[in-house]
Chains A and B, each alone.
Chain A
């Protein structure tokens, strides 16, 4: 778990980086990005998003909040020989990109991210004052 925490810290620092990652620079290319499959769920603390981004290492992940949007980008790196040629390919792009619009009750400044074995987990907490409160119905 120790390594996990470390990844989480680095991941969250990546979240604060502006659009300076390698993926952002290549974002101009004509390559059609892959939409990574995601799971998104909400509990009382906030919203968590999990995205499958195999082949993306921490330094090639670019996670950022632009205005109201959460933008996930990553560049796949495969260990390929110089003279390699493709025989078969399900994956035909080396760029992942997907974005989601956030809503006002989420604390975008406190986003935590963790990248492990090609799975990106992003936790977006809700503002404390906006977390749902159980309303007791008083019996009269």
Chain B
């Protein structure tokens, strides 16, 4: 299809394709429809968002940064994180691989509508920025009893 060299067993590519399909199916509900501000996978920093009825937790996978240099802001339900990571190249060294992200970054994350921008906490450990946002009481599901 893409000019696969004839020496390559095509089953490898079939296998990869099948895996991709499986992953898309498994996680499709998270990524589709795509958020208008979402970035392609592989962007820095990677983001995971989890929720409970009380809180929304955002995890930014941002290794090797100074957390103080991060600019984190929240407006309504939009969380914006920007910063810089400099992976300085050594002089007098020969590089074989330079895969790690270097430069400025910015990510905007849409959170559920009911988050309270007044109640946010953030911490940094082992290269992960964890931001916790409380949700408004009124929006939490309530058990309704039948009398």
Contacts and interface: CB of A to CB of B under 8 A. Distances in A.
Interface of A: 32, 37-44, 48, 50, 52-57, 77-81, 83-92, 116-119
B3 to A, nearest CB: 25
Interface residues of B, number: 46
Given A43-B92, A90-B61, A117-B63, A56 B52 contact: no
Given A80-B50, A117-B127, A52 B30 contact: no
The 9 closest A-B pairs by CB, nearest first: A118-B127, A118-B63, A54-B127, A37-B99, A90-B46, A119-B64, A54-B61, A54-B63, A41-B93
A139 B114 CA distance: 80
Query: Secondary structure at chain B's binding surface: helix, strand, loop or mixed?
Result: mixed
B64 A118 contact: yes
A83 B52 contact: yes
A37 to B, nearest CB: 4
A43 B90 contact: yes
Query: Secondary structure at chain A's binding surface: helix, strand, loop or mixed?
Result: loop
Contact of A55 (B55, B112, B127): B127
Interface in B28-65: 30-31, 35, 41, 43, 45-53, 55-57, 59, 61-65
A87 B30 CA distance: 6
A12 B86 CA distance: 25
A39 B50 contact: no
B2 interface: no
A28 to B, nearest CB: 19
Given A42-B94, A92-B27, A52 B63 contact: yes
Interface string B52-88: 1101110101111100000000000000000000010
A85 B48 CA distance: 11
Contact of A57 (B35, B56, B126): B126
Given A55-B59, A79-B130, 19 more contacts: A32-B19, A39-B87, A42-B96, A52-B100, A54-B63, A56-B127, A78-B48, A78-B130, A80-B57, A86-B48, A87-B112, A88-B30, A89-B48, A89-B49, A90-B48, A90-B61, A117-B127, A119-B64, A119-B127
